[in-house]
Amino acid sequence: MSSSSCNKDPLTLMAMWGSMRGYNPDQGFSFEGPEKRLEIIVRFLDETNKEGFLSFEDSSWEHVVGSLNAEIVSREKNGQINSYVLTESSLFVLRNKIVLITCGTTTLLNSVPIIMELISCMRGEVEWVSFMHKNYSFPWEQKGPHTSLSEEFNHLKTHFPTGKPYILGPVDSDHYFFFCYDDIIREEGNTVYEADAQLSMTMYGLDHNQTKHWFHDKFECTNDITQKIRKDTKLDILFNKEEGWTIHDLQFEPCGYSINAIRGSDYATTHITPESHCSFASFETNANEANYFKTVLKVLDVFRPQRFTVIVIIDPYSEVGKLYHANEPIGVEPSFFVKKTFDGSDELHTPFEVDYCVMHRAVNEFAPGYVAMKINYVQRSALEKLKEEKSEVNGTENA
């Protein structure tokens, strides 16, 4: 860790300490899988370009992506959403919204001034901004403005002064930093407007039988080879073309994999870091489902992680939001993932057993009816193994 760590704020130091406990410098280079995520929604005025963000050519988005040290390598469009696979994750552009997701040491917040210029050019107004990221696995490797939580917060406050920061979860282990700026003009009785939902999963300790498929000796982009990878890993069940998804994906060299899928205004994306010492995968979708269980189960069936964090961010009038506010389960709660065996029927095709313990659960409810729920899970067998290892270490120290 660099000497500059002494200048960090206390929350960042605690987060770094949590990351250092599992860090082994002898393992060499480790890629930062957990992504930074920025979402910006605009309000349309009488003078706003009615095509919104979709009015800009790809060159504008190349400029945005270049500002954070990434490149566009693949693209798909369907009239409602433009999808870009990046060298580090993904960009989704809708008429009134952009979602920018980047991993590694990308400097995502450096793109904000350029995006604000685009909004000014289209004569729109910012009505909602959220920035979030799971705690970094190797926070000491990050570059400004992402070297500390306070630096990220100060950068965001420069552009969105009334935004609020939150920490969801324990600071020294699996948590999310979440910042939101809310300038939505709400009309009483309008139940159509706030109907968005977001499901995100971050997974660690992936199944070796799966990760072996995401190594390759050259780049492959949406071809027969990536199609075979999807089939061999069961990603084709998660991203099912028969359900209307248009897919584009990228196999990196020597390892790593990204896939974007779009359907109408829905998107779904997965990013994979397969190296055994830092194996990681993420999944995100904005598909407006009434219950997330089947989707989460498909994701777990692909990756079989030792531990995972699921976070849902839901508007009050989304399908899953209505369920939540009616005190009904939404498919991510502990009861769905404790000692459950699935016989391979339905979408899974193969027998599958899940048995996870809850390590932490946090729920933030924002007025009016906006909810963020985060739950940390760990595989029961992995937790028991960890307890045994700690017991052996304590026994050796006491001998």
Q: Which residues are catalytic?
A: 32, 35, 89, 103, 258, 271
Question: What value, to the nearest 5°, has the Cα angle with vertex 269 and ends 37 and 136?
Answer: 40
Which residue bears the tokens 């990434």?
A: 70
* Dist CA 156 CA 126 (whole Å): 13
Residue type, 174: D
**Helix spans in 68-160 (H):** 112-121, 149-159
Residue type, 351: P
* Dist CA 278 CA 137 (whole Å): 9
Q: How many CB atoms lie within 10 A of CB 22?
A: 10
Question: What value, to the nearest 5°, has the Cα angle with vertex 185 and ends 197 and 322?
Answer: 30
Give the distance from CA 324 to its chain's centroid: 21
Q: How far apart are the first and last CA of the chain?
A: 32
CA R_g for the chain: 21
Residue 384 host element (H or E): helix 380-398
* Dist CA 108 CA 34 (whole Å): 13
Strands 125-134 and 176-182: antiparallel
* Dist CA 18 CA 172 (whole Å): 4
> Which of the 8 DSSP states describes residue 277?
G
Query: Shortest CA distance to 33 belongs to which of 102, 79, 94?
Result: 102
Which of left, alpha, beta for 252 (phi over 0: left; psi -120 to 50: alpha)?
A: beta
Give the distance from CA 67 to its chain's centroid: 20
Question: What value, to the nearest 5°, has the Cα angle with vertex 49 and ends 45 and 52?
Answer: 95
